[in-house]
Amino acid sequence: MSPHERWLEMVREYPDLHAFLSGPRSGDVLSGTVAAVERFGVFVRLDDGPAHPFFPGVGFVTIPDLTWHHIDDMSEVVSAGQRVTGEFLDYDTWNMEARLSLKALQPDPFQEFADAVTAGHELRGLVTKAVPFGVFVRVADGVEGFLHEDEFGAAPPREGDELHVVVADVDRERRRVNLTSGRG
């Protein structure tokens, strides 16, 4: 069965669900209650929405759309029974669900950082991750920059170290902050 044939069958079988999901437009704000937190995302029982025939909720939030901040566990952001509000992204016709973004309604910490900080700003930051070619440094809440290994002194920094760094550049398009040690 093709995806289109599957969708037509679902529309015939669940006309109320299709009618509900066809209503919102991208950017609309929808609210509901977290029905289930799964390892792959969050199901939301939307206000005034019909029951979903297979899933715990008609709305679905993927992990990247939960928050702008890095999280290790979704329970840091949501829990079953919690009221949430999200921006409607689109109607996922394959799963017959509303794709939502909670982070779309939150201020973007990267853009706030980019508005306030330019090349040459000196900052203190915490090393959050070491990789073979450098380290990532948290320079603001929800914002990490990269310090290349060429910038290290005699001893490479480790996770948890606090560093003095200088912003080399802020790339808004790629959402990247490049750092230097400022040693010249």
What is the C-alpha separation between 104 and 85, in angstroms, rounded?
10
Instruction: Specify the pTM.
Output: 0.81
Of 147, 183, 142, which is closest to residue 162 (Cα–Cα)?
147
Q: Is the dihedral of CA 49, 18, 101, 115 positive or negative?
A: negative
Percent of the chain residues past pLDDT 70, beyond the cut: 99
* pLDDT single digits (tens) 171-184: 999 999 999 997 65
CA dist 44 to 49, 89, 98, 128, Å?
Answer: 10, 14, 9, 32
Phi–psi pair at 95, nearest 5 degrees = -100, -5
* Tokens (6 digits) for 71: 């999280």
Of 148, 153, 125, which is closest to residue 135 (Cα–Cα)?
148
Neighbours of 130 (CB within 10 A): 16
What is the C-alpha separation between 160 and 12, in angstroms, rounded?
56
* pLDDT single digits (tens) 124-136: 999 999 999 999 9
